[in-house]
Structure 1
Amino acid sequence: MRRTVIIPVVLHSLVAVATLLWLLWYFIPTGNVFNGLATLLILLLAGWYIFKNCRSEDPTSDVTLPAAELPLLDTQGPVVLVCGDMLEALFQGDPLRKTAQGWWLRAGDVSRLTDVVRSIQTQFPRQVGQLSVMYLCLPDHHQDEAVLRSALKTLRQQCKQIKSLTGLTLPVVLSAEFSGPETPWIIVRGDKPIVCPVNDSPQAFIDWQQTEDNILALPAVSEAFSFIRNTLADELEKTDRLTPPVCAFSVAMRLGNVLPETQSVWSDWLCSRTCLQLSRKSGQSAPARLFPDAVLPLLAPFASTVQGGQRTRRLILLIWLCVLTALGISALNNRSLIRQVSTDLQRWNAIPMNHYRPKAESLAALKQDALQLERWQRQGEPLRYSLGYYPGQRLWLALQQAIDTWTPPPAPESKPVPKIVRLDSMSLFGSGKSALKDSSTKILVNALVGIKARPGWLIVVSGHTDNTGSVQLNQTLSLQRAEVVRNWMRDTGNIPESCFAVQGYGDSRPIASNDTPDGRAHNRRVEISLVPQADACRLPGAQHASQEVRDVSTNEMEK
């Protein structure tokens, strides 16, 4: 088997398998067992496809041109496959006629068209897009109209098979030659007939009939057009349940010297409508057979090499379908994620704040969702979400806002409740700065009287900003301001640095709306709080944390 047959089939199959497996493993939400079985099935189908196509395209098969060897199609213009009546006299023994504007290739009987196209597709797959079909009809050689229509019906069947084989609809040209007054080729494309004299420029039909004695040929020419329209075109365009209609791309028609006196479809037609009976004069011979070369420029815009062939087009279609399916599944996955988070948030909002146990269970579900979204933000969201509109950031903010509203159950009376001291950032720092103002010392002393270092308690200093400016800048500024306040407390009170924890939240935890100046002023703050934590802030010679907690509780009760 030829390598030129095996390699394209294998490469196309591998790309198709990779595309299907990409869709299966990364987007379709099924289990590993189903994916494994589906993968095995895809591989088996791909192997069967390679085996079948390599055998069907074996060069030892009987797909060859029935006449002579297929010539090398090295032209860039249209290649017209000629079939129909009396082709031997037209081609004069040669299977091919080359011109500067295109080629005429003898295809033989109309029933062999599909075999010729299959042979060309096998040997020259890129030239399939340059092919056209011309059916040559000589009504003077037909005595029975039913036989003539039968050949046209065969042409329709062949056009259907060619489209199934190549995926392309080849242009069909009707060419007819009639007995009568000699005329040049008359080409009809659309509704404007053009007369194309030999060695002369084309002219409109209405201009041609007004010159010399051409008006005398008008009755025969009109009946020839009527015959083509009511017999040839009618049979091709007839509605049929099995074969689709074929619309002629163009019509080429000419009249010439009368053939020997025989009854024919054309002579009966002409006599019944005009009572004309044309006879050949003594010494006249049959007209010379000519090609309608004026059709080739009309076919040129529709003749182009095919990029990749039918197999490549099918592969591209498969890839597009997989991509569109992946987009749809990604949108469904994002919709499912939104529904899951929305359900958890609705459950959280439906539980009253004083129902601490179910509220805590709902809080755990919110934290689990937020943790998963944070991990995807750091590592990148999974591919099954990335092709659609991934709403991870928006969902994470909604979860964080809900989590921040959580109020833990009140502590027993024997345990003190941590106190939070909020300091206005604008009273301590300049706008956008992290250096303390000269007037901030008195504010810090007055506000932090109740904050003392105790064993078992951690002093948490957290900085917050409004949403003015970029998120990264706000995060950095809030952390710097919290560190400055921590350093002031550490140096002023001679407190070990292990007693502090510094956090910068930026604008992620507002306590008021950022839509108003007053709300933004409340959000620009530094919060200091005591949080119980085992083995935190162990001062030399200090009591145990539990004893300190009792002392703090007693002092607050006395106050």
Structure 2
Amino acid sequence: MRKSVILSVVLHTLAGFAALLWLLWYFMPVSNAFKSLATLMLAMLAGWLVWKNCRYRTQQAKGSDAFIDLPLLDTQGPVVLVCGDGLDAIFQGQPLRKTAQGWWLHAGDVDQLTGMVRSIQEQQPRQVGQLSVMYVCLPDQHQDEAVLRSALKTLRQQIKQLSALTGFTPPVVVSCEFSGPQTPWMMVRGNKPVVCPANESPQALIDWQQSEDNLAMLAVLSQAFGFIRETLLDELDKADRLTPPVRTFAVVLRLGATNADPAAQSVWSDWLFRRTCLQLPCVTAVSDPGNRFPDAVLPLLAPFAAPVQGGQRTRYVVFLMWLCALVALGFSALNNRDLIREIGADLQRWSAIPMDHYTPKAQSLEALKRHVLKVERWHRQGEPMRYSLGYYPGYRLWLTLQQAIDTYIPPPALPQAINTYVPPSPPEHKPVSQIVRLDSLSLFDTGRWQLKASSIGVLVKALAGINAKPGWLIVVAGHTDDVGDDKSNQRLSRQRAESVRDWMRDTGEVQESCFAVQGYGESRPLKLNDSDAHRAANRRVEISLVPQADACQVPGKTTSPAKGDVITSEMEK
């Protein structure tokens, strides 16, 4: 196998491998461990494909009878693969015939066309776009019409395989030589028959018939046209369940061929006798060596013959690249959606906390500032690739965050001490926040967000103090430790908070407007994630009662919010 073929296989494999890695590392929202494992598997698959392809091509080149070591073409003209009857007499023992307008290649039997084209595709893939097919039929050498039609069915199957192999249907020319009076080559393209005498300009059939004794050949010539139309073209144009019809590009024919066995009845002699009662004598015709090929058809094939780059392998790689680009576009849109949801959850919590709750308001402010710094950094350095193909809303998010931060009112400064004695006021009774710690119980399985059946009793006992009432918002926030990637933890924390919210809503028949769900992932730990005990403390779901005028509002009744309790349930991840 040529080095150029090996290089082509390697380059196509590397192009597909690079497209998959680009999609995997820049757009898929998966962990780095999964990306590394997938990269290793893709590298092994690429190496196996290169080895298998090269080995297959080498064995094919050694074992294929139709494999021909072709020289490089020095012309841009058509390359016609000639198959069918009497090729040895046409080519005179040569494998090819080269002209100034194109090449004629000896392809052998009809069933060898695919092997010949595959050999050309492996050696010189640019020549594939210049290929055409010419089927030679000698009706005087066929005694059974069924055998002749069987060869035409094989031609249809080969053309179907060539279309799948090359990606296009090559032009098909039908060439027939009949016994009878000597005539030059005649070519029919569409409905315009043209006579092409040797070394002369082509002329219309009606003009050729009016000169010399050519009118006497009209009877035999018209039957030859009828035989081609009702036998050859009829079989090629048949609609079949397995093979599509073949539309011929052109038909060439001439009279003057010699019947090899005059005593035997041929398809052509039987056709002619049944329709005209003519019996042609066996006359040995001396054929011109330079007129064995219908060279006049080559200029018609020239506009449809052009070198091409690549082949079936290139089409597969281009399709894979387009597919990777479309998948990357979808992942980019999903990543942008997750970014909007993450920032939107912090903005929702910011809006839900009243201004006079200075401590939680300051914590929410820090989260908004972190988002602003991240968006500003991406604005200066360019957003990450995973957001670039979708609708990246960086400026819109930055503007919304800045507007929210500008509404922050810092706590009032403490009054300066004065000499006037002020009697101390009695201490104000403040509700003590209740904390329920579930150290040995687990509400969720590891990595899951569905509540376990054994957790129902724990939830009933732990959340007995949560009662929905007008003017209060039940904020359910989920938290995780630092095990895993940020996106997975953020999604898991929100899903766990939604599971607790759904249980509270369905069990206590609380309205949907009474809840606000947030997922913070690992961004707000209670302790450093440096030990198993600290990580267990960080895996939790927090449930808070926040005053909000329009939360759980009963129609027709106005309730002023008051300070309430906060109950925090710590749950294992």
In structure 2, the CA distance between the partners of 1:244 and 1:408, relative to structure 1 (3 Å rule), is: farther
Matches within 5 A, 1:403-442: 403-408=405-410, 411=412, 414=415
Distance 1:311 1:245 in 2: 26
Look at both structures and tell me which one has the larger radius of gyration over its CA atoms. 1
Name the SS of the counterpart of 2:80 in structure 1. Answer: strand
- 1:240 counterpart letter in structure 2: D
- In the alignment, which residue of structure 2 is the partner of 1:280? 281
Identify unmatched segments of 5+ residues in structure 1: 417-559
8 A Cα contact 2:5 2:122, kept in partner: no
- 1:277 counterpart letter in structure 2: L
Name the SS of the counterpart of 2:58 in structure 1. Answer: coil
Distance 1:333 1:384 in 2: 7
In structure 2, the CA distance between the partners of 1:381 and 1:257, relative to structure 1 (3 Å rule), is: closer
- In the alignment, which residue of structure 2 is the partner of 1:126? 126
Distance 1:391 1:219 in 2: 81
Name the SS of the counterpart of 2:134 in structure 1. Answer: strand
In structure 2, the CA distance between the partners of 1:377 and 1:72, relative to structure 1 (3 Å rule), is: closer
8 A Cα contact 1:258 1:279, kept in partner: no
Identify which of 385, 401, 426 aligns with 1:383: 385
- In the alignment, which residue of structure 1 is the partner of 2:24? 24
Distance 2:254 2:213 in 1: 16
1:367 aligns with 2:366: no
User: Cα distance, 1:170 vs. partner?
Assistant: 2.3
- In the alignment, which residue of structure 2 is the partner of 1:162? 162
8 A Cα contact 2:134 2:175, kept in partner: yes
Distance 1:209 1:338 in 2: 83
Identify which of 270, 273, 282 aligns with 2:272: 270
Identify unmatched segments of 5+ residues in structure 2: 418-573
8 A Cα contact 1:83 1:136, kept in partner: yes
Distance 2:67 2:381 in 1: 66
In structure 2, the CA distance between the partners of 1:202 and 1:389, relative to structure 1 (3 Å rule), is: farther
1:397 aligns with 2:399: yes
Which is worse superposed, 368-377 or 283-292? 283-292
- In the alignment, which residue of structure 2 is the partner of 1:488? none
- In the alignment, which residue of structure 1 is the partner of 2:49? 49
Which is worse superposed, 21-30 or 348-357? 348-357
Question: What fraction of aligned residue pairs are identical, expressed as a percent?
Answer: 65
Residue by residue over 1:42-80, the C-alpha shift from the partner in whole angstroms, topping out at 9 and shown as x without a partner, is 111111111111211227853455598645544332111
Distance 1:2 1:69 in 2: 10
8 A Cα contact 1:258 1:280, kept in partner: no
- In the alignment, which residue of structure 1 is the partner of 2:435? none
Residue by residue over 1:6-62, the C-alpha shift from the partner in whole angstroms, topping out at 9 and shown as x without a partner, is 433333323322221111111111122221221122111111111111211227853
- In the alignment, which residue of structure 2 is the partner of 1:530? none
Matches within 5 A, 1:256-335: 256=256, 259=259, 260=262, 262-272=264-274, 274-280=275-281, 285=285, 290-335=292-337
8 A Cα contact 2:178 2:224, kept in partner: yes
Distance 1:37 1:238 in 2: 53
In structure 2, the CA distance between the partners of 1:365 and 1:413, relative to structure 1 (3 Å rule), is: closer
In structure 2, the CA distance between the partners of 1:280 and 1:387, relative to structure 1 (3 Å rule), is: same
In structure 2, the CA distance between the partners of 1:355 and 1:106, relative to structure 1 (3 Å rule), is: same
In structure 2, the CA distance between the partners of 1:402 and 1:218, relative to structure 1 (3 Å rule), is: farther
User: Cα distance, 1:293 vs. partner?
Assistant: 0.7
Matches within 5 A, 1:468-547: none
8 A Cα contact 1:2 1:59, kept in partner: no
Distance 1:7 1:247 in 2: 37
Distance 1:101 1:132 in 2: 13
Name the SS of the counterpart of 2:62 in structure 1. Answer: coil
- In the alignment, which residue of structure 1 is the partner of 2:491? none
Residue by residue over 1:337-362, the C-alpha shift from the partner in whole angstroms, topping out at 9 and shown as x without a partner, is 34444455456556666676776565
In structure 2, the CA distance between the partners of 1:268 and 1:361, relative to structure 1 (3 Å rule), is: farther
User: Cα distance, 1:325 vs. partner?
Assistant: 2.9
- In the alignment, which residue of structure 2 is the partner of 1:538? none
8 A Cα contact 1:142 1:264, kept in partner: yes
Distance 2:276 2:315 in 1: 55
User: Cα distance, 1:286 vs. partner?
Assistant: 6.6
8 A Cα contact 2:185 2:197, kept in partner: yes
User: Cα distance, 1:82 vs. partner?
Assistant: 0.6
- 2:276 counterpart letter in structure 1: C
- In the alignment, which residue of structure 2 is the partner of 1:83? 83
In structure 2, the CA distance between the partners of 1:81 and 1:364, relative to structure 1 (3 Å rule), is: same
Residue by residue over 1:225-270, the C-alpha shift from the partner in whole angstroms, topping out at 9 and shown as x without a partner, is 3332332223223333333332222222223366335422223333
1:239 aligns with 2:239: yes
Residue by residue over 1:383-439, the C-alpha shift from the partner in whole angstroms, topping out at 9 and shown as x without a partner, is 111233322112211221232233446x377379xxxxxxxxxxxxxxxxxxxxxxx
User: Cα distance, 1:101 vs. partner?
Assistant: 0.1
Matches within 5 A, 1:10-159: 10-58=10-58, 61-66=61-66, 70-159=70-159
Distance 2:353 2:215 in 1: 98
Distance 2:344 2:244 in 1: 54
RMSD of equivalent CA atoms: 3.2
Q: TM-score, normalised by structure 2?
A: 0.64
Residue by residue over 1:143-192, the C-alpha shift from the partner in whole angstroms, topping out at 9 and shown as x without a partner, is 11111111112122222333343444322211122234443322233343
Distance 2:363 2:271 in 1: 94
- In the alignment, which residue of structure 2 is the partner of 1:189? 189
User: Cα distance, 1:103 vs. partner?
Assistant: 0.9
Name the SS of the counterpart of 1:80 in structure 2. Answer: strand
In structure 2, the CA distance between the partners of 1:200 and 1:110, relative to structure 1 (3 Å rule), is: same
8 A Cα contact 1:63 1:119, kept in partner: no
Q: TM-score, normalised by structure 1?
A: 0.66
8 A Cα contact 1:258 1:278, kept in partner: no
Distance 2:356 2:323 in 1: 53
User: Cα distance, 1:216 vs. partner?
Assistant: 4.2
- In the alignment, which residue of structure 1 is the partner of 2:467? none
- In the alignment, which residue of structure 1 is the partner of 2:8? 8
- 1:375 counterpart letter in structure 2: R
Distance 1:373 1:296 in 2: 65
In structure 2, the CA distance between the partners of 1:73 and 1:63, relative to structure 1 (3 Å rule), is: farther
Distance 1:415 1:201 in 2: 116
Distance 2:156 2:325 in 1: 36
Which is worse superposed, 349-358 or 361-370? 349-358
